[in-house]
Structure 1
Amino acid sequence: MQKAVLATFLGALLISGCTIRVADLTVGSTKNYNINSAKFVKGPRVVGEDSYPVILFPTGIPNMKTAIDKAIEKDKCAVGLSDLVISQLNHSFIIGSIGIRAEGNLIIDASQPGCTGRS
């Protein structure tokens, strides 16, 4: 009985993890854009992640800029994110992954070439 309890505890420990909310931002971007544009449109909610596997030790270091870039690049006309939430992912003990997640609403600049007709 004790071995079963110990095995269950160790199994739960190996697959456990947590997500920590790091920042809440009204607007965030890693792109250069014309802030005076009069044609900004709110787009859909998107998620971008930068994560690396962990097998005893992390195989890389997650980057917040990469996570935000991946979220913005979901639409070619997007220039930033509104209502941005940055979270740190810690889903590892010995085997798992670590990472950064950026989640927010796309800010679409309809004045860019090829982006007309957005509403």
Structure 2
Amino acid sequence: MKKTALAVIMGAVVASGCTVRVADMTVGSTKNYNINSAKFVKGKRVTGEDTYPVILFPLGIPNVKTAMDNAIEQDKCAVGLTDVVVSQLNHSFLVGTIGYRIEGDLIIDATQPGCDRRA
């Protein structure tokens, strides 16, 4: 009985983790673009992550900029995100992953070369 209880507790500890909402932003970007462009189009909702494995200690340092770049670069015409949610991922206890997740709607700049089809 004690071994079963110990196994259940250890399983819960190893599988535990949490995702914490860090920020909500109306607009966010890591790219340089003309904010006065008159041809912005709202694109699809995307998610970008930057995560690293943990085996006793983290095997890298996650970065919010990398996570946002991963989300924005899903469309070559995108210059930013709107309705942005930034979350910190802490899914580790001795082993697991840590990182950041960025979710938002793409901001498409139709004035960029090859992007006029979206206007």
Range class of TM-score, shorter chain: over 0.9
The answer to whether structure 1 residue 84 and structure 2 residue 80 are counterparts is no
Question: Could you tell me which residue of structure 1 aligns to residue 7 of structure 2?
Answer: 7
CA distance in 1, matches of 2:51, 2:91: 10
1:3 Cα deviation (Å)?
Answer: 1.2
Question: Could you tell me which residue of structure 2 aligns to residue 99 of structure 1?
Answer: 99
CA distance in 2, matches of 1:95, 1:15: 9
Question: Could you tell me which residue of structure 2 aligns to residue 118 of structure 1?
Answer: 118
CA distance in 1, matches of 2:34, 2:12: 49
TM-score norm. by structure 1 comes to 0.98
CA distance in 2, matches of 1:58, 1:41: 39
Find the residue that maps to 2:117 and give its secondary structure. coil
Q: Which residues in structure 2 correspond to 1:19-98 (within 5 Å)? A: 19-98=19-98
TM-score norm. by structure 2 comes to 0.98
CA distance in 1, matches of 2:56, 2:6: 21
1:23 Cα deviation (Å)?
Answer: 0.2
Report how many residues are paired.
119
1:38 Cα deviation (Å)?
Answer: 0.3
Q: Could you list the runs of 4 or more consecutive aligned residues of structure 1 that deviate by over 3 angstroms after TM superposition?
A: none
RMSD: 0.6
1:2 Cα deviation (Å)?
Answer: 1.5
**After superposition, what is the alpha-carbon deviation per residue over 1:65-99, rounded to whole angstroms, capped at 9, x for unaligned?**
00000000000000000000000000000110000
In structure 2, give the amino acid aligned to 1:84.
V
